[in-house]
Amino acid sequence: MTRMIERWFPCAEVSDACSESWGSGNTESSLWVWFAKRPVAQAKAAVLTSLLPWPDDEAEQRTMQELVRKALKGHNEGASEIQAILEREYGRRPRVLDPFSGRAMIPLEAGRLQTEAFGIDYSPFAALGGSLLSELAFRDWSAEPALPFEAAGGPVTLEGDIADRIVADVEEFLGEVGRRFRDSMDEFFPKRAGRYPWGYVWASTLPCQECGRRFPLVGELELRRPRPKKGDEGQSFRIHADPDTGICEAIVHDGPPTGTPTRVQAGKSKYSADGRVAVCPFCDHVHSKAVHTRLSAERLREDMLLIAADIDEEDGTKVFRPPTEEEISAAKHAAEALQHEAPFNLMPARPDELIAPGNTRTIQSVNYGDRTYGDLCEDRQNLGLVRLARAINDATEECLKVGVSTEYARALAGYATAAMMRKIRRSTRGARLQKAGGAQVGDIFVNQSAVSFSYDWFESGLSAGPGSWESLSKQTVTALRNIRQRSLAYPATIQRGSATALPFRPNWMDAVVTDPPYDDMIDYSDSSDLFFVWAKRAMSTADFMLSVTTHPGGVQDKEDEIIVKRGGGPAGDHRTREHYDSSIARAFTEARRVVADDGVVTIVFGHGDLEVWHRLLSAISAAGLILTGSWPAKTEAGGASATAANIVTTLTMACRPAPADRSEGRLAAVEAQVKAEVKKRVELWDRSGLAHTDMLMASAGPAMEVTGRYSQILDVTGNVVGLERFLIVARKAVQEAADIKVVSLPLDSFDARTRFALWWVRLYGRQVAPKSELRWEVFAGDLDMADVKNLLHQGEKGCRFLSSKEFKATITRDSSVIDVAFAMAKAWPDGLDAVAEVLVEANRENDDEYLWSAINYLATRLPEGEADVAAWNGLQRSRRGVDVAARNIADAQIRISHETAAKEVHPTLF
């Protein structure tokens, strides 16, 4: 049976739906801390088109397409019609598997289609979150006894109300946990005027290497931005150090900062080798980054409570002040209490699980002396998380005592743990005070997966404001209610396991639909270990097996994790490219084994580096699969570069087992087929609203489809051609099919260097693009890196098109059009004569159509207001003046040349 995804996919509809509230997946992703959110609209479309048949009759095909389009207008649109078709085609609930289920978006959408859905993930933390989203939320819990907690009106009872039972019980359970947590921490957060503070600003102190006194390391002094319309000057603080007493304190004042931070930038930029230095406020001794990092790594850091913050009762403004002696004493008391906390089963209260050595890119505080996950929090933060985990366990124990089933107790504790995990995102030394929005607590993730560290941080209090347990509980209950109300799904089955060893018999699944890990984009287990060590404590009563691990450090197992460790990882880390490539191929082989003979393996993938696409193609080929359909869609907002975890465009690719009798292909014929296929797709992509940058990435799909038809591809000498060649061919085909005109001239008619530059401007303008794009664009243009020298600035974050100010090439009669255009813009501030000299040096006439077309193109494609754009526009307006000046210079050069020649012939006449 041909599946719909092999012939058609709703690219435009998915792109549109992913930006809508129902299709974005924001509600579903808010339930559990995990990475690389998959929009539910794409998950739904991938599952739906992987299961639905593709009729032979064209009228039936159009009817099926309209049904899918209808389904992508909301959660329940067309649901009954779709379910009837699936039941007719399969005679039962179709079976769908995601072997890399993560937070389980794909199993959730498969369950919403009333299929029998299965999810496997190697991370036990992800598997727990996936079960909360797609399994436990939809189980029938109506037979469970009432919870034992006394609410305001007595125990809550919901007589047989299946739809709302779990939502009401989760709300009650989280409320009970919150009461126990607040009572247990009350003594460590003194109230002022009967109200808990909003939170506290802390800083690490280090001993000065000159005077020996301790001082706090703070990088910013502004606390709250001014609001002129409300007459609010904002608030700041300064560090006051008294050399006589040795006392160092923070002085809070209204208005902008009046002092200097103790951590300041030494170099010209934050990326300079010098980094931030630490300056002692007692003696002004400067500690280089290397010195203060070494002192911190030697565990000489001590925590200092600097500032307290209240919430104004009238307008909710965050108001900062010095901490009271009682508050300072309470913080010290919390540190003492932490030492006496009882363990959770065999686990100490304060996490002692080791951070893997060399894991500095993911857990940044390793550079500053942190060795265990308990080190990531100051003592009162640790105590608060311990007491919160204790409250979850105690509430779970009481539920079990009144006859609540172990599975329901696991569900209730799981949702409480979900709220606790979101609290952790703003409960470590990496949680900074953010001034935007009237002062907020920042997230610990500096990108999708790197846990940040800071010498100064913010600790949330016990107030009912943002980040409080009350707020987090409400968010959890709201998310759960919305997920259930959107549509009642058939509960999925989610379990921990490996994609390379699936626990299913051959040919059992009707479709495998998965979104596998993207190479080195996210360190899933290393980034989630901080949450895992706390989750296994919170769930120690409800799910003791969560804490079972073979890892010697007590964290999640890594042995079979299929990623490339970012930055190469610590010495000896096995998660290399070779490990990833072989493991992902084994996973695809397993997917091929368990899928039905007439089923499909659908892979959702997105990456900015075509080398990764080449390796993915090789893995698919090694698994004995071939592509039978590939469809691009804009599924996410994207990150700052291709190394960010969010990818703007992803491909949804359908695969089938490769026929055993595939023939060999010939290079020229296969290249022609790739070009033809890409050109056909460009028309579709253009109608779907894909930008040319997205088309370049999407071109990998048809290239993979065409090459998959052959067992191998040979050149004229009989040598096997590497598959990466056809990825380059596909990118060239995109450019050719785009039929770019530079004014009225075809882009292909320009010299190669200029063609590269104008195409790059078309794609990126002044935006920074990943370095991988430079490499592949050079290859696609049949150029060498030397051919594009002085056209792009290459920095840490990627490549950027040069400005004329940065342009340094010497102009000669052999210079390319782009070089002359740059040189003319650079000369523009010096007047027409300077510009004309460039024309003369390049031996170009003022009526050179290619030169002025390129100048016009650059002026219209680059951002308005730029000096270069102003220069190129000015050149076009002054074209006649440039011509006159150039002719004058040329005539003068001719006269000088003639005079010189005459002197050589008749020296006595001069």
Q: Where are the beta strands (DSSP E) in 38-99?
A: 95-98
Q: What percent of the chain has pLDDT over 90?
A: 64
What the block records as the tokens of 492 is 């999925």
Q: What percent of the chain has pLDDT over 70?
A: 93
Mean pLDDT computed over every residue of the chain: 89
DSSP state of 354: B
Mean pLDDT calculated for residue range 103-115: 96
Using pLDDT thresholds of 50, 70 and 90, give the confidence band for residue 724.
confident
Burial state string for 890-910 with b = 16 or more CB within 10 A and e = fewer than 16: eeeeeeeeeeeeeeeeeeeee
Burial state string for 233-245 with b = 16 or more CB within 10 A and e = fewer than 16: ebbbbbbebeeee
Phi, psi of 306 (to 5 degrees): -100, -50
Mean pLDDT calculated for residue range 292-297: 95
Closest CA to 196 of 384, 419, 48: 384
Please state which of the ranges 355-369, 386-400, 524-538, 756-770 shows the lowest mean pLDDT. Answer: 355-369
Helix, strand, coil % over all residues of the chain, rounded to 5: 45, 15, 40
Sequence-distant (≥ 6) Cβ neighbours of residue 512 within 8 angstroms: 96, 97, 98, 99, 591, 594, 595, 599, 600, 601, 602
Please state which of the ranges 274-278, 279-283, 636-640 shows the lowest mean pLDDT. Answer: 636-640
Contact 43, 109 (CB under 8 A): yes
Give CA–CA dist 798/116, Å, rounded.
Answer: 44
713-714 and 665-666 as β-strands: parallel, antiparallel, unpaired? Answer: parallel
> Which residue intervals of 344-401 are DSSP H helices?
379-401
Residue 744 has pLDDT above 90, yes or no: no
Using pLDDT thresholds of 50, 70 and 90, give the confidence band for residue 442.
confident
Q: Is the dihedral of CA 788, 790, 796, 800 positive or negative?
A: negative
Q: Is the dihedral of CA 147, 150, 155, 161 positive or negative?
A: negative
Packing angle of the helix pair 79-90, 58-71 (nearest 10 deg): 130
Predicted confidence at residue 156, as pLDDT, reads 42
List the chain domain ranges: 4-135+491-523+563-641, 193-323, 659-739, 740-895
Using pLDDT thresholds of 50, 70 and 90, give the confidence band for residue 638.
very low
Q: What radius of gyration do the chain's Cα atoms show?
A: 32
Residue 434's DSSP bridge partners are: 440
Contact 567, 361 (CB under 8 A): yes
CA dist 797 → 449, 518, 568, 774 (Å): 17, 19, 18, 13
Q: How many other C-beta atoms are found inside a 10 Å radius of the C-beta of residue 862?
A: 17
Residue 448 has pLDDT above 70, yes or no: no
pLDDT digits (tens, 9 = 90+) for 835-869: 899 998 999 988 899 999 999 999 999 998 899 99
Using pLDDT thresholds of 50, 70 and 90, give the confidence band for residue 906.
low
**What counts of helices (H) and strands (E) characterise the chain?**
28, 26
Q: Is the dihedral of CA 860, 864, 866, 869 positive or negative?
A: positive
> Which residue intervals of 309-468 are DSSP H helices?
325-338, 379-401, 406-424
Contact 288, 277 (CB under 8 A): yes
Taking the mean position of all CA atoms in its chain, how far away is CA 494? 24
Residue type, 58: E
Residue 435 has pLDDT above 90, yes or no: no
Sequence-distant (≥ 6) Cβ neighbours of residue 472 within 8 angstroms: 419, 420, 422, 423
Using pLDDT thresholds of 50, 70 and 90, give the confidence band for residue 584.
very high
Question: Which conformational region is residue 887 in: left (phi greater than 0), alpha (psi within -120 to 50 degrees), or beta?
Answer: alpha
CATH among 3.20.20.70, 3.40.50.150, 3.40.50.300, 3.30.460.10 for 4-135+491-523+563-641: 3.40.50.150
Mean pLDDT calculated for residue range 95-115: 96
Predicted confidence at residue 781, as pLDDT, reads 83
Using pLDDT thresholds of 50, 70 and 90, give the confidence band for residue 274.
low
Contact 220, 205 (CB under 8 A): no
pLDDT digits (tens, 9 = 90+) for 485-529: 888 899 999 999 999 999 999 999 999 999 999 888 889 999 999
What the block records as the tokens of 495 is 């379990």
Give CA–CA dist 595/96, Å, rounded.
Answer: 9
Contact 492, 108 (CB under 8 A): yes
Using pLDDT thresholds of 50, 70 and 90, give the confidence band for residue 153.
very low
Closest CA to 362 of 456, 273, 445: 445
Predicted confidence at residue 775, as pLDDT, reads 82
95-98 and 116-121 as β-strands: parallel, antiparallel, unpaired? Answer: parallel
Closest CA to 428 of 460, 388, 387: 460
Give CA–CA dist 67/69, Å, rounded.
Answer: 5
Using pLDDT thresholds of 50, 70 and 90, give the confidence band for residue 899.
low
Please state which of the ranges 29-43, 127-141, 243-257, 425-439 shows the lowest mean pLDDT. Answer: 425-439
The tally of CA atoms less than 13 A away on the side-chain side of residue 45 is: 35
The H or E element spanning position 320 is strand 318-321
199-207 and 302-311 as β-strands: parallel, antiparallel, unpaired? Answer: antiparallel
Predicted confidence at residue 349, as pLDDT, reads 97
Please state which of the ranges 354-363, 579-588, 699-708 shows the lowest mean pLDDT. Answer: 354-363
Predicted confidence at residue 636, as pLDDT, reads 59
SS3 at position 766: coil
Closest CA to 701 of 737, 727, 732, 735: 727
Angle made by CA atoms 401, 406, 411, in degrees to the nearest 5: 110
Burial state string for 170-184 with b = 16 or more CB within 10 A and e = fewer than 16: bbbbbbbbbebbbeb
DSSP state of 659: P
CA dist 359 → 229, 374, 451, 572, 788 (Å): 47, 16, 11, 12, 36
More confident site: 131 or 647: 131
Report CA dihedral (110, 113, 115, 116) to the nearest 10 degrees: 50
SS3 at position 372: strand
Give CA–CA dist 170/163, Å, rounded.
Answer: 13
Using pLDDT thresholds of 50, 70 and 90, give the confidence band for residue 787.
confident
Contact 202, 458 (CB under 8 A): yes
Predicted confidence at residue 437, as pLDDT, reads 66
Sequence-distant (≥ 6) Cβ neighbours of residue 145 within 8 angstroms: 402, 403, 404
Packing angle of the helix pair 406-424, 124-134 (nearest 10 deg): 110
Contact 205, 215 (CB under 8 A): yes
Using pLDDT thresholds of 50, 70 and 90, give the confidence band for residue 91.
very high
DSSP string, 89-140: HHSS--EEEETT-TTTHHHHHHHHTT-EEEEEES-HHHHHHHHHHHTGGGS-
Angle made by CA atoms 272, 274, 276, in degrees to the nearest 5: 100
What the block records as the tokens of 419 is 């709220």
Contact 726, 671 (CB under 8 A): yes
Q: How many other C-beta atoms are found inside a 10 Å radius of the C-beta of residue 208?
A: 21
Closest CA to 700 of 718, 726, 738, 670: 726
Residue type, 857: Y
Angle made by CA atoms 578, 584, 590, in degrees to the nearest 5: 140
Q: Where are the beta strands (DSSP E) in 660-811?
A: 665-666, 713-714, 741-742, 745-746, 792-795, 798-801
Residue 164 has pLDDT above 80, yes or no: no
Mean pLDDT calculated for residue range 624-650: 64
Predicted confidence at residue 648, as pLDDT, reads 64
The size of the chain, in residues, is 910
Closest CA to 486 of 11, 67, 53, 20: 20
The terminus-to-terminus CA distance of the chain in angstroms comes to: 96
Give CA–CA dist 383/365, Å, rounded.
Answer: 20
More confident site: 827 or 434: 827
Residue 259 has pLDDT above 70, yes or no: yes
Q: Which of 229-238, 769-778, 891-900 has the highest mean pLDDT?
A: 229-238
Give CA–CA dist 277/269, Å, rounded.
Answer: 13
SS3 at position 828: helix
Closest CA to 598 of 678, 476, 511: 511
Residue 707's DSSP bridge partners are: none
